[in-house]
Structure 1
Amino acid sequence: MTVRSILSAIALAFTAYLAARGLLWTEPDTVERGWLIVAALVLYLPVTWLWVFAIGTGTPEQSAEPRATRRVPNWGVALAMLAAVVVPNATFFAVTEAGRTQPFVTWVIGAIGALMTIIMIRRRPIVAWVGMAVLTLSASFWLGPLAAFSLGLVGSLVWVAAAQLVMIALDRTARDADHLAELQQAASAWQASQSGRQRERRIHVQRALQAAGPVLARTIESGGNLRPSDKAAARRAEASLRDELRGTRLLDDGVRAEIDAARRRGAVVNLFDEGGLAGLGASDLDDIRTELASVLSDAVSERLIIRTSPHHEVAVTVVGRSRGEGGSGDDDEVDLWREIRRPR
């Protein structure tokens, strides 16, 4: 059984007990209009059980909320107000003045208090307190203020106030739980991002060691007296490390191999990733890298510039430049222009 079903059963039993007290006429001589007492019972029980068991209605935004938090329709509110007015006044009117303090009459004070407590739990505090105000006025009119408070009105008021405090505490607890859940999600996301960055840093360190480790080892062994081939290898290692910093999203094993081949034949290769590939998925990046590797494998330019593009249709631009016929560095000519389209 759920907590809600247990509480509903308790509310059903308690309200049924209060109503049963109204049928135990310990002093029948004081009862002048018994049918009014029965009519009050007939009105009270269905209205109370409606608030106990009714699922209520909610807007589409409230459809995912627990049933206990959904509101009973307005006609349910009207029935509750009708019961708060009719049940006490009809019961007190049905007996003589001497019988108004008898338990089979004063049950209405606890009964309406129980109904308003249920309404408070249903998150209708204004309705509950209006009902208690009506009950207080009715009981004070028929019994007098002191007698009304001494015969159960204080207890009813305490029930309703305690129910409101409990609901406030539950709402605060729910808000705190939601806030803690949000903090936990944020912490998990931060931890995941940190783990990803740590993995990325480890990969970069491994690649740096692979590229620069042999060169550093030979430098130490030779005491800094490197051969021309070793110096060329050191320059390529430096350039590859620069590529890892400037154009990580452009690189995979195929692109790295083609860039290294271009540098070995003497070409100068520069990579610039300025965020043009942001938002692309892994498969799109793989397609772009495959096409980039193909372009680089066919390139014969002396200088290659690879740059991501902010254009909505172009992902990467590859420009190749070579010295002109005069051989002057100031007369570089563009001998390669290739735009890699952004995947749709």
Structure 2
Amino acid sequence: MISVPRGLVLSLAAMFSAYHVVLGFYSLGQPQTPLPAILAIIVYAVATVVSLWPTSPTRMPVWLAYFNVAVCAILPLLVGSQLDGSVDNGYATWYVAAVGTLMTVTATRRRSGLAWIGAAILVVHTIFWAGPAALVSMGVIGSVVWVAVAVILARALAKAGRDARQYALAEQEATEWQAAQEAHLYERQVRLAQTIRLAAPMLRRIIDQHGELNAEQRQESRYLEAAVRDEIRGRKLLNDAVRDAVMAARRRGAIVTLLDEGSIDDIRGAELESVLNALAVAIDGTMADTIIARTAGDGSATAVTVVGLSSADAKLSAFGQESPEPEVDLWLEIPRDPALVSAPPE
């Protein structure tokens, strides 16, 4: 978006304001008493300096806007009280352009409502002081037009700024969405390649044997099916060490469940490998019948929680006693910080 340097705008406004001050001093000989005109010049200069202060915010403070409106009411009264409204006063009516400039600055700094009030005060004073015809001859209409142009431009620029921010936000969201889609596509490709690597040999064997598998091959197919489910549900909980540990646990008869709920997506590189290696060690080091590993919730210092459950003693059921609940054989919380990762308890 094309923008105009603020310093350039302030300099132009200061030049216009200074020109009105020069006209005010130049015409001091026309008023009956120059003191009110000098006071008006000082008040106008103060209002201009404060309104054009370089470090001030873009939106004018409301107290300053009301002060400018008060200045617009004071200038015509001070200067006009020493002039004859029925004659052409020439440059002595410098305050008309001064009020228009001050209200233009006020409107540009996003106080359009108060700028219109200041312009209206100038119009009303001129009508009562010199008549409706003086609105054209004294340049009041021109001052009002400048205020109107400033209001329109300020609103257009504000709308353009809002639109630019919305477009930038939409572009950022679109970029993030595209990156997420590319990441999902890449992850699907990786998972698909891993699945093919796992299942392809067994699928070829099934085709070659026309589906006639012995008991050992059927069991191996079940293991492969579980491994494929791990690739879908486990996602980032898997590396080669975890895959080997899970397969070894299943071969000895354990039921292993891996659940990745997305809370460790921000862990990468060596930190993730440290967490996964600790998970593999935990699975290898337990003889539990059921092993559940799942990612912890968002905001938790724990990356993965591992639970191992051992079945109830079958001897108790044989004697007719009520079987107890499964016993917790393993409970491990693997922290997100690699420095805190330790070996699982014996």
Aligned to 1:147: 134
2-structure distance, mates of 1:77, 1:335? 75
Aligned residues of 1:31 and 1:95 also touching (Cα < 8 A): yes
Equivalent residue, structure 1, for 2:341: none
Once the two structures are TM-superposed, the CA of residue 49 in structure 1 deviates from its matched residue by 2.5
Alignment match, 1:5: 7
| Structure 2: distance between partners of 1:11 and 1:259 | 76
Distance 1:324 1:43, change over 3 A: closer
Identity of aligned residues (%): 27
**Which residue in 2 is equivalent to 1:171?**
158
Report whether the alignment pairs 1:123 with 2:110.
Answer: yes
Residue matched to 2:22? 20
8 Å CA contact 1:304, 1:320 repeated in 2 = yes
**Matching residue's letter, 1:304:** T
Distance 2:227 2:257 in 1: 10
Partners of 1:109 and 1:135 within 8 A in 2: yes
Contact 2:292 2:306 in 1 (8 A): yes
Other-structure match for 2:95: 108
Supply the AA of the counterpart residue of 1:282. Answer: I
1:92 matched to 2:80: yes
For residue 341 of structure 1, give the secondary structure of its aligned residue in structure 2: strand
Alignment of 1:331-342 (within 5 A): 337-341=329-333
Compared with structure 1, are the counterparts of its residues 292 and 40 closer, same or farther at alpha carbon in structure 2 (3 Å cutoff)? Answer: closer
* 1:84–1:131 Cα contact (<8 Å) kept: yes
1:174 partner amino acid: G
Select between 16-25 and 142-151 the one with higher mean Cα deviation. 16-25
- Partners in 2 of 1:24 and 1:281 — Cα distance? 72
Quick one: which amino acid aligns to residue 161 of structure 1? A
Structure 2: runs of 5+ lacking an equivalent? 337-346
Q: 2:278–2:334: 8 Å Cα contact kept in structure 1?
A: no
8 Å CA contact 2:83–2:89 kept in 1: the answer is no
Distance across 2 between alignment mates of 1:145 and 1:162 = 22
Q: Are residues 79 and 208 of structure 1, via their aligned partners in 2, closer, same or farther at CA, if it must alter by over 3 Å?
A: closer
Work out whether residues 109 and 154 of structure 2, in 8 Å CA contact, stay in contact via their aligned partners in 1.
no
Residue 333 of structure 2 aligns with an amino acid whose one-letter code is: R
> Which digits, 9 at most, give the CA deviation of each residue in 1:85-118, with x for residues without a partner?
23222222223455x5232123221111111111
CA shift in 2, pair 1:2/1:169, >3 Å: closer
Q: Paired residue for 1:213?
A: 200
TM-score by length of 1: 0.79
Gaps of 5+ in 1: 57-66
